[in-house]
Structure formats: structure tokens, C-alpha cells
A = this chain, B = another copy of it.
Amino acid sequence: MKAEIVAVGTELLLGQIANTNAQYLSNKLAEIGVNVYYHSVVGDNVDRLSLMIAETAKRSELVIFTGGLGPTQDDLTKETVAAHLGVGLVMDDDAMSKIEAFFVQRKTKMAENNRKQALVIEGSVVFPNDHGMAPGMAVRKNGTTYVLLPGPPSELYPMVEQYVMPFLMQLLPGQQVFHSRVLRFFGIGESALEERLLDVIEKQTNPTVAPYAKEFEVILRITARAKTMEEAEALIVPVEDEIRERVGQYVYAVGETSLHEVLFQTLRERGETIACAESCTGGTLASLLTSLAGSSSVFAGGIVCYSNQAKHTLLDISNEILDTDGAISETVAKQLAENVREKLGATHAISVTGVAGPGTSEGKPVGLVYIGLASEGMPTEVKQIQLAGRRHAIIGRAAKFAMFYALQRIKER
């Protein structure tokens, strides 16, 4: 099936945001074997959008539009697609009830233009919006299926997972199954990983092996196509074994997860808790550990002791040590981890102290980070790492290294 993705929105043409929706959708379509031939962005302009729709109708069997379903005057995707198809818009009662309920719950008055969001193209399949107001929809004419989806990723992603993917699967001919396994790596760069697996990546056509870097991690996706799930699985296993034999020590998880999810699950299964004391990461570690529902069962608490005074007041680091060793030191990392663990009665504790930049601190280089790991019944350990990148990247990487080391440590206990 030939597909393309059209984003509608002048904010993209002004460079205010990047078209990450096209990336997300392309990934999802690749998973089910749909070939995407074009991405386009067009502004909130009825004439240019009309021309674009006519063009896509000639060349694609599936056209996915994102954006332009909002309440304002310049949101015109569904109106323009409907005009191209020669059909009208009708009120979707479910969507309208949801919009009304939203305003009742918020105790605010609904603006008249919010009513426009409940209109859908006549004869379309409607996808409910569980996280916003504008529903999505799909309509078919002359061999082309048009799918219209909301622009905000917080609405788009869940709608795609829940409703659009099952809808698209029905459109696919034959019994082919696409089956993927994702291996998640930490502590090895993308090019180093690719170099060690070059022959595996190059020789494979089924399954295919594709590495990509994402938020300081590397992910390897093995995708097989076959008649059945079992056959696809049988194609994946030997390739996975070969990869694990070479670089298995860097694999921290399989599937759609993250370091903080794996850490959370590991602690929950063991009935253990964790606390953290953060200097340079400034709350990033705590916010990751509490980002998952139910985290109060494993997260004992966190202290953000960015300043030296906070280290002294909240975590009893003596002013002598802060003066002699400095806040960015093995000694302080050790004491922060031990003291926060004791204060909160946690099984484990992580501390992070380092130089996030842009300037050096205490004469120590940007990117120098100490990670302290204290656990019940084990000697405290401190890891020293040197990270590259700008402030934001150093903070993010330091938090990930802290979780990666904690995970190794917890499994040792």
C-alpha cells in the first residue's frame, strides 16, 4: 500500500515546531509494512491544501493528515477534504457530548467555536479522542483512504495506538504478519554498535535489523515478516542470539520500555524501595522515577540539594568536607547516598553530583559526574564518569547513567 503523510499547519512552515508527528506515524506504518513515499507540510490555506489533496489522491492509496482539526478559523483540514470528496460535514453526537462534558467538568463556558470540533466528514469512520476534543476520522473514495488526525502529539499518539492501527490493519491485504523485537542498549554509542554488528545488519533482509539512537540510548529493531507470528518469531530468534553474543552486556531491556520503567519494575518485583539525592540533575531523576503510576510503592523520596547549603542543611554534609573535597567529589557522592538512604529508610539510594556546565565548577571540568550507590547490607560504591554535550544533555545522561548503575547494583544484591 502506497502511503503518504500530510501535516497541515503554518506553525510548521514558520519553523516553530518540527514535524515529529510524521516521524511517529512513519515508524508505526513501517511496523505494519506500509510504505511511506512522501511527507508534506502545507499551511493553513484552503487553496494550497486543496491542490495538495488533489495531488495525493493521484499518487497514494493511503493519505494521513495531521493537524487542522482545532476550533479556530484557520483549522480547515476536514472542511477541505470534504469539499474535495464532494460530501458534507455532520455533527458527531459522541464527540459533542464529550466536549460539553469537558466544559461542565472544568466549570467554564464552552466557546461557540468548540462546537465546530465535533463535526466529522459524512460517511466517515470516527476515531474518538480520549485526550482532547477533536475526533479523528477516516473516509474512502476512488481507491484512496483519507485519515484525518489531530495535531497535538498528546492526542495523536493514543488515538493511533487505540483506534487507527487496528483500522489500518484491516486495510492490509493477505495474511502477512510483521513482528518486531526491540533491544535496548545503554553505555554503547550508535556507531560503535553498528560497527560491531555491520555484517549482521547488512546481510539481513528478513528479518531486517535497524539501529537508531534515541535520547542517549541506542535501540535495535529486528523486524520479520511471515505468514504467522510463530514463523516470524523463528526468524528473529537466531539473529537476536547472534547480536546478544556480541554486545549482550549493553542490553538492558527488550521492548517498549525505558530505564526508569525497568528500574521501577525491578524494585516492585523485589519489594524494595529507592531514594535519591540530586545535585547536578536537580530533580530529573526524581521526576523520572515518579513519572509512572504507582511509584509511591517504590520511590521513598528525593532531595534536590543543588546548592551547598542544601547539601549541608538537608543531608548533613559537613562544611569541612564541602570546603576540602568540594561538592563534586567521591566523598560527597558517598555521603549523600548513604544519608538520604538512612533518612528515608530506603533499601537503595542514588546520589548524583557533578558539573552540568556551561562553566566549570570548583575547577572541575564540565561533564565530570559522581554517582553514589548505597544499598542495605552492601558497601557504598561511587562511579566517576565524564560526559560530553551541553548542559541539558549532561543532566539527561547523568540521570540515565545513575539508573543504569543502580539497576546493575540492585541485581547484584
Contact = CB atoms under 8 A, between A and B. Distances in A.
Contacts of A214: 16-17
A15 B24 contact: yes
B195 A393 contact: no
A343 B214 CA distance: 39
A291 to B, nearest CB: 7
A224 interface: no
Given A283-B286, A295-B306, A19 B18 contact: yes
Contacts of A13: 26, 36-39
A284 to B, nearest CB: 5
B26 A14 contact: yes
B286 A296 contact: no
A302 interface: yes
A170 interface: no
A123 interface: no
| Identical chains in the assembly | 2
A102 interface: yes
Contacts of A358: 293
A14 B302 CA distance: 38
Given A26-B12, A39-B12, A289 B295 contact: no
A200 interface: no
A386 interface: yes
Interface in A375-396: 386, 388-393, 395
Contacts of A128: none
B15 A23 contact: yes
Interface in A349-389: 356-359, 386, 388-389
Contact of A391 (B190, B288, B293, B307): B293
A249 interface: no
Nearest to A194: B72
Contacts of A136: none
A146 to B, nearest CB: 19
Interface string A8-30: 00111111111110111111111
A96 interface: no
A230 to B, nearest CB: 24
A395 B291 contact: yes
B290 A111 contact: no
A244 interface: no
Contacts of A22: 12, 15, 18-19, 41
Given A15-B24, A395-B291, A191 B301 contact: no
A84 B69 CA distance: 38
B310 A295 contact: no
Given A16-B214, A30-B15, A388 B283 contact: no
Given A296-B307, A299-B307, A306-B295, A113 B195 contact: yes
A132 B302 CA distance: 33
Nearest to A359: B293
A337 to B, nearest CB: 16
Contact of A287 (B30, B48, B55, B282): B282
A411 interface: no
26 contacts: A12-B23, A13-B26, A13-B37, A15-B25, A15-B28, A15-B36, A17-B212, A17-B214, A18-B20, A19-B22, A37-B48, A38-B40, A39-B39, A72-B190, A72-B194, A73-B194, A73-B201, A111-B195, A112-B195, A131-B390, A293-B356, A299-B307, A302-B303, A303-B303, A310-B344, A313-B343
